[in-house]
Amino acid sequence: MASFSKSSKIAFIGSGGVAGAFSIALSKNGYPIVAASSRTFASAEKLASRVKGCKAVKTLQEAADMADVVIITTFDGVIGDVADSIHWKPGQGAVHCSGVTKLDVFDNAVKQGAIVGSLHPLQAFASVEEAVEALPGSTFGIEAEGDMRKYLETMALDLGGHPIFLKAEDREIYHASVVTVGGLLMALIGIVADTWRDNFGVSRDDALRAVLPIIRGCADTLQANGIPGGIAGPYVRGDVGTVQKHLDAFKTRAPDGLQMYANIALAGLYLGREKGKADPKDMDAIEALLRKYIKDNPIS
């Protein structure tokens, strides 16, 4: 029966931002990081130089042979190839940090007796230093059973995080929803910045400077008031006239943004209804308006 603890020796395969942040944060919390391997030895050396007791090694197998738990932080598409290339010891831990990849990627490792799991941080990794600072307070999506589940839960808690537990069938919608609030939100901000640039000559940098305080304010409001209490805007107020003006403005000045605006507004309209601040008739009118503009202005 495998048993994992804070003293279990860890090797990282893949030495990018996720590995850098995790290895530093775990080491600071007393987890022994003994090896790093990557596609390029220079990347492994860079990671190892930041973590006391960590050795850069040239092969995946050498890293695995040094560890009780191997954490794979490569791109999602090569996790299976990496796992299949390793000769696993019975009872050894095999963990990946992908949000969308199921544990069946470790099927060959399981046949050799490995104990598998996944630990996915809901966090952006712009740089290692920023990610290390951001990990406390982050949520970690965990898929695992038994002793590995407890080990990863403890790891998340030691990092100051909040663990949630996933089933295999949850992975795709879990990761899609995370990307919606992460990558798609960033893309949405980029579209807004370009709308400002194209319509009234404000640079991307100046537009970003303008909207970032709004984004932080939205986060603070939601944290303080929850959902739907923190939800705001003309949809929540039942302000039909303002929504009409928005739709007309997008149609005439930024038509590429019309479907984005209308569909996002429609998708979240139920939260305005739930908050209950507006006359239901006004909410019905807004819904009809949004549906009409979506239907009458298809994406070309």
pLDDT digits (tens, 9 = 90+) for 14-38: 998 899 999 999 999 999 999 999 9
Asked if residue 237 and residue 120 are part of one domain, the reply reads no
Task: Give the pLDDT of residue 71.
Answer: 98
Average pLDDT, the chain: 94
Residue 134: band (very low, low, confident or very high) from pLDDT cuts 50, 70, 90: confident
Q: Which of 117, 145, 169 represents a domain boundary (last residue)? A: 169
Task: Give the pLDDT of residue 2.
Answer: 61
Is residue 3 in some structural domain?
no
| 3-state SS, residue 115 | strand
User: How does pLDDT run across 230-277, given as a tens digit for each residue?
Assistant: 999 998 899 999 999 999 999 999 998 999 999 999 999 999 999 999
Does residue 206 have a pLDDT over 80?
yes
183-200 and 171-181 are packed helices; what angle lies between their axes, rounded to 10 degrees? Answer: 30
Asked if residue 130 and residue 20 are part of one domain, the reply reads yes
- What lies within 8 Å, CB to CB, of 171 at 6+ separation is 99, 100, 101, 102, 143
Domain count, the chain: 2
In this structure, which amino acid lies at residue 188? Answer: L
Is residue 4 in some structural domain?
no
Strands 33-37 and 93-96: unpaired
Does residue 184 have a pLDDT over 80?
yes
Task: Give the pLDDT of residue 10.
Answer: 98
In this structure, which amino acid lies at residue 120? Answer: H
Which residues form the domain of 244? 181-296
Q: What is the dihedral of CA 94, 97, 102, 104, to 10 degrees?
A: -20
Asked if residue 147 and residue 29 are part of one domain, the reply reads yes
Is residue 213 in some structural domain?
yes
Is the distance from CB of 164 to CB of 141 less than 8 angstroms? yes
Does residue 281 have a pLDDT over 50?
yes
Q: What mean pLDDT do residues 206-212 have?
A: 96
State CA 172 to chain mean position distance: 12
Asked if residue 261 and residue 120 are part of one domain, the reply reads no
Task: Give the pLDDT of residue 183.
Answer: 87
pLDDT above 70 as % of the chain = 99
Which parts of 32-145 fold into alpha helices (H)? Answer: 41-50, 60-65, 79-84, 107-111, 128-134
Does residue 1 have a pLDDT over 80?
no
Q: Which residues pair with 163 in a beta bridge?
A: 140
Is residue 176 in some structural domain?
no
Instruction: Tell me how far CA of residue 143 lies from CA of 160, 161, 289, in angstroms.
Output: 18, 15, 42
In the chain, what is the straight-line distance between the N-terminal and C-terminal CA atoms, in Å?
A: 59
User: How does pLDDT run across 147-174, given as a tens digit for each residue?
Assistant: 999 999 999 999 999 999 999 999 999 9
pTM of the model: 0.88
Is residue 174 in some structural domain?
no
Asked if residue 93 and residue 33 are part of one domain, the reply reads yes
Asked if residue 276 and residue 194 are part of one domain, the reply reads yes
Instruction: Tell me how far CA of residue 85 lies from CA of 1, 105, 286, in angstroms.
Output: 24, 12, 56
* Closest alpha carbon to 171 in 70, 96, 65: 96
State the Cα–Cα distance between residues 95 and 16, nearest whole angstrom.
16
CB-count burial class (<10 Å; 0-12, 13-18, 19+) for 47: buried
Task: Give the pLDDT of residue 189.
Answer: 94
| 3-state SS, residue 144 | strand
Rg (CA), the chain: 23
